[in-house]
Structures are given as structure tokens and as C-alpha cells.
């Protein structure tokens, strides 16, 4: 089901066709929890509320200042997590807030977690009057930075001048024979070289000193926070050289074009606001063509970036040539390639077959045809910037890269040649000519290739083009027997000196790949004559009453010299549904929030109706829903795990009177309730969806009830949790943390556990800076996967906390977070899968040294290969107990070498590298430097691992061999050992779970007492290194190295692993 690409609500609700939030599994009852192993991240939302995310559905909240009474709604589905405060849910439903602001998974992916960003970057449309300071004027919008205190949120929501608050999303660069493949030499022989044409390259900077680009850069501007405009990774220089290189061997498509170098990307990505500012600068500088080899998430609405492309194209006549993206699947076109005016480029191989990574249409939201065209994008060789860290080197001055990023400049260069040939043409005319003359691959559809691969010999000789360049009919609502035929006009323009006559045929295929029924699309007249210098219009009529499958049809109007893409959609069986909300007194509930999630489709929506009844249009199918209905101070949580939408089921009622009270108390009647939550998890055909509601208070005034049909126990899991804070005992904080599991939604719930029904966990924390905030949380992960949430509570630095918990049917996880005085997260640690017995006493420890690499007990992929991409994220600061950690750093560097040559370098602990085919010897290196002012110990961690591998076939992946050594010496509470003593340092070899690791038979250990300036080997006896310390106070650094029986090696170093006390 598609939705119009416009701002607003669809039938009373915002319906997003997205893949949202969760952990997929294959069962509920008795299922083991999803494997953990991803270091925790803290994310502060625009509201000021903090969310701690671990490798499972378990997490913790810290409400923003004054927001303790806020209700939170979360959804887990398909590996993603959304956390939506109730006051934000209505802003989303009203179309004023971008849902991405609450996509916690997406915020982490963009680098907006607290460890990497101290603000929430925004793009605001409209005419805001709020006091939030604009950081940059943009086409049709302004950029701003919201502080993570949440201070700006309510002001923005209430500001009548604000049309919409968008996340300033992070875009990414969409990573010889190719010019011949598109026919550029033919154009060169006619004198077309791009002379006099300005092409803007908005990218990561261009190395204008490279010999291939000598004299070609005529202007540059840096829109990033880098200190200068230098290309620090190599992407932008490669793109610019593909357009305008003068090298005889690696010649650009338009070697005489002039380059406008707008730096809008850094190694971490390309914020939309930087890109938009660069676009305005480019057209102000007179760019004829603007190359955007970048992209990111495309929402169903027209986002500010798409709007800027459309507005600037219309206003200036410039042509924006944009990468389609590297999603490699249907409906994965990136923004701004999704803009109407963009000439959107997919990638093909040298044989014109589609590259496996090239994003395919249709466009999200309305089913329009994208990409528009394709070009070579696999193993493209072009100039290598002096500071390049990506790609496969080809000699000293060139490198090979693949991606739609590489395809895009081929088309930008082709557009430059056409612009030289036709200096009076607008960007729209250039786009039309390139698309009309492209060479189609008969084995591909228009959603794969648009009109085909750019073909310069045809483009420079073609005279006929179409307007519009493609035709998209709006989706016709089901049922289709009474559809009204829709007619659109396509005009053909002839720039030649002779009239042209051709027959037009509509060639479309249906959702099953077969030819569309006759009469679905009719062209009138079928024979067209376009006079010289003139235009001729034809009528294209879609009659969706014609029989056939429901779904999307796509193809082209084919005639003589032209191809015009066409798409239309017969909506699948769908219904307008009404969701009625009734309060406890029988009146329409004006205060309600209802989440509706598809179990066999991708619908997720929060429905809201001002009169108590909300409406939405959704496909026939199976859904689950959760509604919160308020009657004064009373709150009813109503869950409908099974909600079938079909011809007989289109009205659903959530009546608060169904719900019965929830009563949960702690053994200590004076304990204060700090959070309570209700989670409903359903499994349907192997897909799990979890809906959660959390309250920062107890269950007083709350009730719960089941609505609709019941489900078998193996399809439904419900967990109810409550946490209390008691008075400290001898200065030690005491918490009660409860969770219970049901296999039906209860009508009311009462629990009053006694001490005999609990286990006690005493957690100790290593000393830390007194001026920091030290926070602790604990939560249970029910075996049925129904999840739950916790709240971050303060603990004393270097102190202890006591948690009294319910152990039955649960595994527990614990976390520790350290925040700076400015609330910036400096460290996140977590443990998983702890099991406790009734009545038991247990101990946990956090942050005790040595902090260093560790893998024990976790099964995430820390070093992996998927197709031709190697990913690395080795945990470097796990603590002595093996808790998985992530800590802030001053610098981080990850590099990969192949047979001794650099493949790439990332300035982060997490990296992905694309590698060429062929078995080779690889060396991965990590190096992280931490702030010694905030971290006395483990001030630097470095590691190197070697292994052999080849690439894998499409769709295949595996974990690569990885070994680390964990140091576990007995130290005092401050991480020290006396000077002059012999210390036994036990060693534990840990290997990546699921990898083909060889056996490690020997480990070598070196020590340093001068922060790594000098080293000496120490003996290893019975699994422990024997370290004799000097008589003076100082620090000990440790280095371990070794190899396994397959020849894979490892070496890692921890500077200042522990203290030597005097």
C-alpha cells in the first residue's frame, strides 16, 4: 500500500510503511533470549529523556528534568527500537514531528548517541519563532541544534510558525573501461568534452592538487566542522576525477568541465543541513550540474532535502544527479535521489547487468519509478587523494571503488557533455534526453534500471525527449470494479530539423512478473508524429478495472527513439477501519494513544482521533494493538494481541471499563515506585513484535485488560514489571526489581512478593571520579522474549547497591553508566543472561580493572565477512568480570590491510571495509586513546589481528577467526598492586563464537613500566604471567600476542592496565 508523498494525515492517522523496531525470533514459550553482545549505548531524545540500549530488548530509561510523570511507548520489530514519549506521539500523528527523532536504532546508526553527539541536530521548516538558535539558513528551512536537556522540545511543539521538526539525518557516500562502456569516446570525437560547463561535486572534498584534476577546480567551500576542505578519505576526489580527470588512461567523462568543490561530508557522514547548504552554494556559483554521490533514509513524506532539490532545480535550471543508494533491494531508494527533479542513478556492472548493491524502486510513499537511469559502478578506477583511506589502490595515484557513488559521476559527466552541446537546455531537458536515449537491459525492469544504462552516442544524436520523463499513476483504492480510468498527458519534444514519426506501445508487467492485461494502459494516439522544433502530446490512460493481480505494475511507453517509464498500483485488499476509544465512564475518550502494528505486513501507526474515534486505511491482514485510555487520573492499558482486519472486521473498540486494577507492592511499604511497565509480545509466522508501555511511577490508578480473541500460549507473552527505591541501609542503596511473565493479557493484576520469593544481588562498582554521575539499572529478560524496561538510578562512586529481584522464568542483565557533569555519557557497561535462584545471595562487579579486549559469554559478530564487506567492532574495554563495555575516547582508528596494502581506515571503533575478490592475507588494527583526565587506567588500547579469507557469494556471510586475551589479576579496590612485589596475572584466551578458530597453544606477554616506551618479556606459567614490579609507584602496561593452529595471529596492548602503589 502506497501513500501520497505529501505532508499531512491519511484518513485520520499517519500510517508509515516501515520496518520498525524489534528482535525477530522463532517462538515464544520456552524460547531462549536473543544472544547479547553489543556494547550498550545511551541515546538522549529531543525531549531530554535518556534511553540505554543494550544488545537485547532490555534497556533503561532516565526521564528528562520534570518528566517523571511521562508515559513512554516502545515498539520492537525487525531488529529496530522506537521509543516514543506520549507527548511526542501526538506530535508525530499531527505531522509536526519527524518519527526518526524517536527511532533509537536510527539515531545510533547516525552517530547521534550521547557518546558521539551532545545535541540533537534538527531541520525546521516553516517560520519558527522559538528562541532556538538557527545554525544555518537552508533552502526552505533552517538548521538548528536542540540541547539534550529537552529545553527546546515543548517550545517547538507549541510554536505555530513551525511546520515540521525534522531530524537532520545523516547521509552516507554511496560507495578505464567505464567511459568506453557509456560511449564517451564517441562524444569526445565530436568535440564534446564538457568545456565551459560547471559541475559541482558535493562530497567529502576534492584533492585539487592531484595531477588528474590539475586546473579543473575553480571554487571550493567547506560546510563541515573539519578545519579545512581537504579530502580526508578519497571519496570526493574519486567522484570528481570520474567526471573531469584529464589522465589519458583514467580519463573522466567530461575532461574539460570545471569542478566546484563543496565539502559536505566527513568520515562520520553527511548531515542533511550541510548538504542543503552546499546545494544552495553550488547553484549560486552557477553550477550547471550538481553531483550528489550520497544518500540516506527516505520517508514517505517529501523531506527538506528532496524539497530543496525540487525547488532549486525549478528555480535555477540546474540538474541534480543523485545516487540511488546501495540498499540492493526493492523500495530502498535513498533521499535525495527520491526527489522528483533528481536524475537518480543506479549502478551496473561492466556487462550492463545490475550491480547487486544498487538500490531498486519503487519510491517509498507513492510507488513512483526510481532510479531513472544506470551507469557503471563496479570496480571504477579514478584518482586517489593524497590522504585517501578507502578503496583498493591501483598504483600510487589511483584507486578502485564500487557503488552508486561511482555510477553517479558518469551520468553527471554525460550531462555536462549534453549541456555543452545544448547550452540553452535546462536541467529538465538534459534529464529527459539522457533518459530517453538510455540503453535498456531487457532482463531488468524499470524499478531496477529506470530507462537503462546511459548511452552517450545516442544521447548526443537523439532529438526526441518526453515530458514528464516518467509517469506515475496514483494508487487506485481497493476494490477495483468501480475504479475511474485516469488519464495523464505526455508531451514529446523534437529538437531536430526533421519531423519524427513512431508507434507508441505500453509494455508493462505485473507484480508476478508477467505481462500486464491488455487494456490496462492505453496510449492515444498510438502513432505519433512530432514536428521539427515542436511538440506532440499523447494521452496515457490507466484503467485499473481491467482484471489482474492487485499490486504494482511497471514498465514503459516504448516508441522509436524513446522510453518513458510508467508505474501504477492496484491497491491490495484494504479497508478503512475505525478505532473507537471509550473511557471508564462510557464517554468518548478524548485522551488516548493507540499503537497498531501489522504482523504480516509492514504497517506501524499510532492512531488518534479528536472525538475518541480514529480512522486509518490498512491492508487486510493480522495486527496487534495496544491502547492507553485515560479517564481523569485513571489510566487503562488495553491490549488486543489479535486484530484481524477483513470485510467483517473494520471497527474495533477499546473500552476502559474492561480493564481491572493493577496492584504491586514491595516488602518494604515505604519503598517508592520509580518505574512500572507492561509488555505484550506476539509471534506470528516466526515474526515477533513487542509493544511496551512504561510509566515513571507505580501502578496506582492503573488498570489492565484484554480485548478481542485469545491466543495459544506459544504465540503470546506478557511481562509486567515494577521497580522500587527503598531507603539506603548503612549508606547502601536498596532497590526492588520485579518482573512476572504471563501467557495471556490479564484482566487486572495483583502481586505482593515477600522476601522469601526474591533473590538478592549485591553489585560493587570500582572507584570513579566524584564529580561524575554514576548510574545503575537492572532488568529481566523473560524467556518468552516479552522484554521490559528499567530506570537508571544513582549509585555512589566506588560503592555498592543491593537489588532484590524476582528470579523465576527470567534471565537478568545489569548496566552501569557514567555521565559527565554536562550529562555526556563517558562509559556504558552491561552484563547479560545472569540466572539466579529463589532465596539466593549473589555478587556482581563492574569496572574493576584490567579493562581490555574481551569476548567471553557473548555471541555477536565482532569480526565478520558478508559478501565482499569485512566488518569490525572488537570490544576493547571490557572489565575484569567480563562485562561488555563502551567508553568515550579522544581518538579512535581502525584500519585494514590486504596483502600489506591499505584497504581502508576509519576514525571509529566500528568499521566496514569493501574488499576485492581473491583469497588474501588481512591485518586488522584497532587503536583507541582515552582522556587521561577522566580515566586514570587503560588510557590507550591497541590491537592487531591477522587472518586469511576470500569474498563470499551474494547473500552469504560468516564470522572470521578472532582471539583475544583477558587479563584478570587480583588488585585492590583502586586497581593497584604494591610496588616491588611479584604479581600473578591470570590469562584467559577468548575466541569469537561461531568462527572457525584454530587452537591457541601459546601466549606471549610483555610488560612496560614507562607507558609503552620500552617492553620486556615475562614468563607465563600455568596460564598466568608472572610480573615483578619496580619499587617505585607508577603504572603497568600489558601486551599479549600469539597465534592459533591455523596461522591466525593476535596482539593487543593495554597502556596503564593497573597501578603500582608505593
Q: Give me the residue label for grid cell 557509456.
A: 182
**What distance in Å separates the CA atoms of residue 1015 and residue 1025, rounded to the nearest whole number?**
14
Q: Are 380 and 400 in contact (CB under 8 A)?
A: yes
**What distance in Å separates the CA atoms of residue 81 and residue 59, rounded to the nearest whole number?**
10
Neighbours of 646 (CB within 10 A): 11
805: left (phi over 0), alpha (psi -120 to 50) or beta: beta
Q: Is 149 exposed, middle or buried (0-12, 13-18, 19+ CB in 10 A)?
A: middle
Q: Are 454 and 373 in contact (CB under 8 A)?
A: yes
**Closest CA relative to residue 138, chosen from 343, 331, 260, 279:** 279
**What distance in Å separates the CA atoms of residue 159 and residue 164, rounded to the nearest whole number?**
10
Of the chain, the end-to-end C-alpha distance in Å amounts to 72
Q: Give me the residue label for grid cell 524517536.
A: 102
E strands, 217-304, in order: 217-222, 258-263, 270-271, 289-292, 294-295
Q: How many CA within 13 A on the CB side of residue 492?
A: 31
423: left (phi over 0), alpha (psi -120 to 50) or beta: alpha
Q: Is 627 exposed, middle or buried (0-12, 13-18, 19+ CB in 10 A)?
A: buried
Torsion from C-alpha of 352, 358, 361, 364, nearest 10 degrees: -160
Q: Active-site residue among 73, 76, 210, 235?
A: 235
Q: Active-site residue among 114, 168, 203, 298?
A: 203
Q: Which residues partner with 986 through β-bridges?
A: 1024
**Closest CA relative to residue 707, chosen from 669, 680, 740, 739:** 680
**DSSP string of 396-409, one letter each residue:** TTEEEE-SHHHHHH
Strands 574-582 and 651-655: parallel
Is 203 in the active site?
A: yes
Q: Give me the residue label for grid cell 572457525.
A: 996
Q: Are 388 and 233 in contact (CB under 8 A)?
A: yes
Contact partners, residue 408, CB within 8 Å, separation at least 6? 174, 239, 291, 292, 293, 321, 322, 323, 345, 375
**What distance in Å separates the CA atoms of residue 57 and residue 829, rounded to the nearest whole number?**
16
Q: Is 988 exposed, middle or buried (0-12, 13-18, 19+ CB in 10 A)?
A: middle
Q: Which residues partner with 892 through β-bridges?
A: 928
Q: Active-site residue among 313, 335, 358, 405?
A: 405
Q: What kind and span of H or E run contains 307?
A: helix 304-316
**What distance in Å separates the CA atoms of residue 403 and residue 356, rounded to the nearest whole number?**
10
Q: What kind and span of H or E run contains 189?
A: helix 184-189
**What distance in Å separates the CA atoms of residue 807 and residue 830, rounded to the nearest whole number?**
18
**Closest CA relative to residue 306, chosen from 518, 138, 71, 121:** 138
Q: Give me the residue label for grid cell 487520573.
A: 633
SS3 799: coil
**What distance in Å separates the CA atoms of residue 405 and residue 380, rounded to the nearest whole number?**
10
Q: Are 218 and 198 in contact (CB under 8 A)?
A: yes
Contact partners, residue 155, CB within 8 Å, separation at least 6? 130, 131, 132
**Closest CA relative to residue 125, chosen from 165, 160, 154, 156:** 165
Query: What residues act catalytically?
Result: 203, 235, 405
Amino acid at each position: 500500500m502506497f501513500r501520497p508523498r505529501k505532508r499531512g494525515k491519511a484518513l485520520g492517522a499517519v500510517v508509515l510503511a516501515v520496518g520498525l523496531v524489534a528482535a525477530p525470533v522463532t517462538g515464544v514459550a520456552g524460547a531462549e533470549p536473543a544472544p547479547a553482545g553489543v556494547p550498550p549505548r545511551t541515546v538522549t531524545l529531543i525531549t531530554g529523556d535518556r534511553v540505554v540500549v543494550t544488545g537485547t530488548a532490555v534497556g533503561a530509561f532516565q526521564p528528562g528534568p520534570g518528566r517523571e510523570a511521562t508515559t513512554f511507548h516502545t515498539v520492537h520489530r525487525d531488529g529496530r527500537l522506537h521509543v516514543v514519549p506520549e507527548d511526542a506521539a501526538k506530535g508525530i500523528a499531527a505531522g509536526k514531528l519527524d518519527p526518526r527523532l524517536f527511532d533509537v536504532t536510527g539515531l545510533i546508526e547516525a552517530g547521534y548517541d550521547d557518546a558521539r553527539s551532545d545535541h540533537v541536530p534538527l531541520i525546521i521548516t516553516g517560520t519558527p519563532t522559538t528562541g532556538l538558535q538557527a545554525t544555518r539558513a537552508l533552502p526552505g528551512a533552517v538548521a538548528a541544534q536542540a540541547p539534550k536537556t529537552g529545553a527546546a522540545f515543548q517550545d517547538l511543539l507549541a510554536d505555530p510558525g513551525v511546520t515540521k521538526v525534522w531530524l537532520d539525518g545523516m547521509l552516507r557516500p554511496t560507495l578505464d573501461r567505464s567511459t568506453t562502456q557509456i560511449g564517451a569516446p564517441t562524444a569526445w570525437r565530436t568535440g564534446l568534452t564538457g568545456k565551459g560547463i560547471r559541475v559541482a561535486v558535493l562530497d567529502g572534498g576534492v584533492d585539487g592538487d592531484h595531477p588528474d584534476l590539475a586546473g579543473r577546480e575553480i571554487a571550493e567551500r567547506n560546510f563541515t566542522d573539519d578545519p579545512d576542505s581537504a579530502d580526508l578519505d578519497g571519496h570526493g576526489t574519486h567522484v570528481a576525477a570520474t567526471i573531469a580527470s584529464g589522465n589519458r588512461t583514467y580519463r573522466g567523462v567530461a575532461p574539460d568541465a570545471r569542478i566546484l568543490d563543496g565539502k559536505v561530508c566527513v568520515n562520520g557522514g553527511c548531515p542533511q543541513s550541510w548538504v542543503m547548504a552546499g546545494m544552495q552554494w553550488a547553484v549560486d556559483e552557477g553550477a550547471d550540474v550538481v553531483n550528489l554521490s550520497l544518500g540516506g533514509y527516505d520517508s514517505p513524506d517529501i523531506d527538506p532535502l528532496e524539497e530543496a532539490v525540487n525547488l532549486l532545480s525549478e528555480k535555477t535550471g540546474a540538474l541534480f544527479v543523485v545516487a540511488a543508494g546501495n540498499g540492493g533491494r526493492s523500495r530502498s531508494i535513498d533521499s535525495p535521489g527520491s526527489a522528483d527533479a533528481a536524475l537518480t542513478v543506479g549502478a551496473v556492472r561492466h556487462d550492463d547487468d545490475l550491480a547487486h548493491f544498487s538500490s531498486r524502486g519503487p519510491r517509498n510513499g507513492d510507488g513512483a519509478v526510481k532510479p531513472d537511469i544506470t551507469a557503471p559502478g563496479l570496480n571504477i578506477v579514478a584518482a586517489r587523494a593524497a590522504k585517501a583511506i578507502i578503496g583498493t589502490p591501483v598504483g600510487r595515484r589511483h584507486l578502485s571503488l564500487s557503488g552508486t557513488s561511482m555510477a553517479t559521476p558518469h551520468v553527471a559527466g554525460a550531462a555536462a557533455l549534453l549541456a555543452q552541446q545544448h547550452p540553452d537546455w535546462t536541467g529538465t531537458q538534459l534529464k529527459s534526453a539522457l533518459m530517453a536515449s538510455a540503453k535498456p537491459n531487457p532482463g531488468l525492469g524499470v524499478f531496477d534500471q529506470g530507462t537503462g544504462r546511459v548511452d552517450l552516442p545516442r544521447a548526443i544524436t537523439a532529438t526526441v525527449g518526453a515530458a514528464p520523463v516518467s509517469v506515475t499513476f496514483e494508487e487506485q483504492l481497493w476494490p477495483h470494479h468501480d475504479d475511474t480510468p485516469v488519464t495523464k498527458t505526455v508531451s514529446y519534444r523534437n529538437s531536430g530539423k526533421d519531423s519524427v514519426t513512431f508507434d507508441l506501445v505500453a509494455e508493462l508487467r505485473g507484480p508476478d512478473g508477467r505481462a500486464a492485461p491488455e487494456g490496462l494502459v492505453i496510449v492515444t494516439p498510438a502513432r505519433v508524429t512530432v514536428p521539427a522544433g515542436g511538440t506532440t502530446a499523447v494521452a496515457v490512460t490507466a484503467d485499473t478495472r481491467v482484471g489482474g493481480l492487485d499490486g504494482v505494475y511497471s514498465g514503459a511507453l516504448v516508441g522509436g527513439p524513446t522510453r518513458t517509464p510508467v508505474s501504477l498500483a492496484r491497491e491490495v485488499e484494504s479497508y478503512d477501519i475505525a478505532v473507537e476509544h471509550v473511557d471508564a465512564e462510557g464517554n468518548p475518550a478524548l485522551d488516548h494513544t493507540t499503537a497498531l502494528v501489522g504482523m504480516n505486513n509492514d504497517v506501524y501507526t499510532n492512531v488518534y482521533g479528536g472525538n475518541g474515534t480514529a480512522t486509518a486505511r490498512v491492508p487486510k491482514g493480522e495486527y496487534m494493538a495496544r491502547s492507553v485510555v485515560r479517564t481523569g487520573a485513571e489510566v487503562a492499558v488495553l491490549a488486543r494481541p489479535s486484530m484481524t482486519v477483513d470485510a467483517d472486521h473494520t471497527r474495533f473498540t477499546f473500552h476502559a471499563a474492561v480493564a481491572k486494577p493493577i496492584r504491586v507492592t514491595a516488602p518494604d511499604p515505604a519503598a517508592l515506585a520509580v518505574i512500572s511497565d507492561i509488555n505484550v509480545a506476539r509471534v506470528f509466522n516466526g515474526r515477533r513484535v513487542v509493544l511496551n508501555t512504561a510509566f515513571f511511577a507505580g501502578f496506582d490508578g492503573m488498570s489492565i485488560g484484554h480485548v478481542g480473541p485469545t491466543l495459544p500460549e506459544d504465540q503470546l507473552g506478557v511481562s509486567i514489571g515494577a521497580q522500587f527505591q527503598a531507603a539506603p541501609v548503612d549508606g547502601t542503596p536498596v532497590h526492588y526489581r520485579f518482573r512476572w511473565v504471563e501467557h495471556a493479557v490479564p484482566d487486572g493484576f495483583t502481586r505482593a512478593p515477600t522476601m522469601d520469593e526474591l533473590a538478592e544481588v549485591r553489585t560493587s562498582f570500582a572507584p570513579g571520579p566524584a564529580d561524575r554521575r554514576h548510574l545503575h539499572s537492572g532488568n529481566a529478560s523473560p524467556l518468552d522474549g516479552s522484554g521490559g524496561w528499567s530506570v537508571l538510578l544513582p549509585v555512589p562512586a566506588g560503592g555498592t547497591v543491593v537489588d532484590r529481584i524476582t528470579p523465576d522464568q527470567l534471565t537478568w542483565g545489569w548496566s552501569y553508566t557514567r555521565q559527565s557533569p554536562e550529562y555526556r555519557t563517558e562509559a556504558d557497561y552491561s552484563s547479560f543472561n545472569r540466572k539466579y535462584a529463589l532465596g539466593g545471595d549473589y555478587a556482581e562487579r563492574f569496572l574493576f580493572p584490567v579493562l581490555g579486549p574481551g569476548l567471553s559469554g557473548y555471541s555477536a559478530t565482532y569480526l565478520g565477512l558478508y559478501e565482499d564487506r569485512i566488518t569490525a567492532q572488537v570490544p576493547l574495554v571490557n572489565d575484569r568480570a567480563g562485562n561488555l563495555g563502551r567508553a568515550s575516547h579522544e581518538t579512535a582508528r581502525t584500519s585494514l590491510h590486504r596483502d600489506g596494502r591499505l584497504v581502508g581506515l576509519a576514525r571509529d571503533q566500528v568499521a566496514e571495509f569493501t574488499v576485492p575478490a581473491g583469497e588474501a592475507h588481512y591485518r586488522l588494527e584497532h587503536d583507541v586513546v582515552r582522556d587521561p583526565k577522566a580515566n586514570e587506567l587503560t588510557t590507550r588500547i591497541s590491537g592487531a589481528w591477522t587472518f586469511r579469507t576470500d569474498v563470499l557469494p551474494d547473500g552469504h556471510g560468516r564470522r572470521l577467526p578472532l582471539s583475544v586475551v583477558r587479563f584478570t589479576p587480583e588488585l585492590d579496590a583502586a586497581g593497584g598492586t604494591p610496588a616491588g612485589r611479584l604479581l600473578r596475572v591470570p590469562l584467559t584466551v577468548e575466541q569469537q563464537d561461531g568462527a572457525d578458530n584454530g587452537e591457541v597453544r601459546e601466549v606471549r606477554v610483555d610488560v612496560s613500566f614507562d607507558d609503552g616506551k620500552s617492553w620486556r618479556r615475562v614468563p607465563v606459567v600455568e596460564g598466568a604471567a608472572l610480573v615483578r614490579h619496580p619499587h617505585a609507584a607508577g603504572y603497568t602496561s600489558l601486551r599479549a600476542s600469539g597465534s592459533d593452529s591455523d596461522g591466525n595471529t593476535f596482539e593487543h596492548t593495554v597502556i596503564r592496565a593497573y597501578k603500582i602503589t608505593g
